[in-house]
Amino acid sequence: MRTFKDRYYLALKQVSKIANSTLSLRKIFDSIAKNITKAMQANGCCVFLLDHKKEYLIIVGTYGLSDIYLRKGPLNAHKSLPEILAGKVVTVANASKDKRIQHPQVAEEQRVHSILGAPILREGEIIGEIRVYTREPRQFSKADIDFINSIADVNTVLIERAKLQQLLARRYKVSEKKAKLAQAPQSPTASLRPTEFVHPSEEQFAKLLDFYCIEWLYEPRSFPLRWENNTVVEMFTPDFYLPGLNLYIELTTLQQPLITTKNRKLRLLKELYPEINIKLLAKNDFFKLLAKYGYGPQGKAKIEGVNQVLYTHTQIQRRIRTLARHISHDYASSERLVLVGVLKGVVCFMTDLMQHLSLPVIIDFMSISYYGGGDSQVVKITKDIDSSITGQHVLMIEDIVDTGMTLNYILSHFSAQNPASLRVCTLLDKRARRLANISLDYVGFEIPDEFVVGYGLDYKGEYRNLPFIGILQPELFKESKPQ
């Protein structure tokens, strides 16, 4: 009979061979979970990766666990064995009674008793977890912990290799069009997702969610709908869960039999689980749903020429409310505040900001133009503000600040009029482009060195009416002046 040392040695040898194979990433992780389960004489194993927000655990490999246990619900890494996020190996003696387990009732029903969890680290950062499950009470030994940590190290190498392969593919193997798409910002988890979608519409919907930076989990939970003799005989697994909206999504085609069946299941699900928020969507309903939550113009998905959404309408409004609270607090003792904006890009931001200020305000606008070119480009005021700001508290409102040269010129122009105070509030700060040494008192978001459009920002007069801020495809423009 083999000792645990023999089993662990053979498992590590087999895992190393699998890791160096040509199998897909998902199959490799499944095989690793299988080898861990057998070597540790356990009943199941899961390999997880953290989503890019480091909130939810996404299954990338599994073996030996029931579908009901795997689909018990979105697994929040901060609620389920949260010590693992701190880099600790965690043991659970009784899963059904441990407060660190997110779904103890399902653990009891599916006879999951003891659990061993270990972090997957990359350069000291937690990127995932491995968990081992047993049906019988188990006290995990130091050898068990050393073995699972070794396997976690192998997983880190696998993930790094996958990222390297993607990088090489981008550089050498993909077409020019695909290469441009591959250069679009992606979350680490999204780039390594091993998900195989059942239907093309699901993949299309996932890409749409990625474009709008909406976090999603694919088939994270199965809901038992019907039982016979205490055995589940019918379940329903929604296609997606959107954590930010706390919303389950089930997609459907226009085939009436499928719609009828899914509607029946949804009615039953809502009766059994009234707390669950779920929607049944046909393809044309995608865009109506996104429009409802402020993610894009109704009737269109991706906006032509925009690579990806940088900040959604919801994120922008939330940040504006925070800025307004700070400004209202700082100017609470002032009789009034003068808001000055430069047309036209600032209109959306200034309009929304002033609605949340809890003090009297006066608004004014100015227009500027540029002449000359290159380094000799000069700013000219084509329309000055209408009222005097002498002795007034002035807050300069900007949509975006990059080099700061234009803003520096305008601030000098206003300072000569002796205001009581002069501060700056900008929605976007492109600090990578800064040339002038200016102080920004209130900043919405610091953004990368990208050309952005939407929410008042334009390119050749277009895109201003987009409800979000997106990154324009670089091949579409050649900047004649700083943004």
**Dihedrals phi, psi of 279, to nearest 5 degrees:** -130, 140
DSSP string, 133-181: EESS-----HHHHHHHHHHHHHHHHHHHHHHHHHHHIIIIIS-HHHHHH
Query: Is 375 marked active-site?
Result: no
Question: Which two three-digit tokens encode residue 389?
Answer: 């700001």
Catalytic residue among 239, 352, 399, 402: 402
DSSP string, 77-137: TTTSSGGGGGT--EEES-TTT-TT-S-HHHHHHTT--EEEEEEEEETTEEEEEEEEEESS-
Measured between alpha carbons, how far is 166 from 150 in angstroms, rounded to an integer? Answer: 25
Neighbours of 379 (CB within 10 A): 17
Q: Mapping DSSP to helix (H, G, I), strand (E, B) and coil, where does residue 18 land?
A: helix
**Cβ contacts of residue 261 below 8 Å, gap of 6+?**
none
C-beta of residue 476 within 8 angstroms of C-beta of residue 462: no
For residue 157, how many C-alpha atoms fall within 13 Å in the half-sphere facing its CB? 12
* Dihedral angle computed from the Cα positions of residues 262, 266, 268 and 270, in that order, rounded to the nearest 10 degrees: 180
Measured between alpha carbons, how far is 152 from 154 in angstroms, rounded to an integer? Answer: 5
Alpha carbon distance, N-terminus to C-terminus of the chain: 72
* Residues noted as catalytic: 402
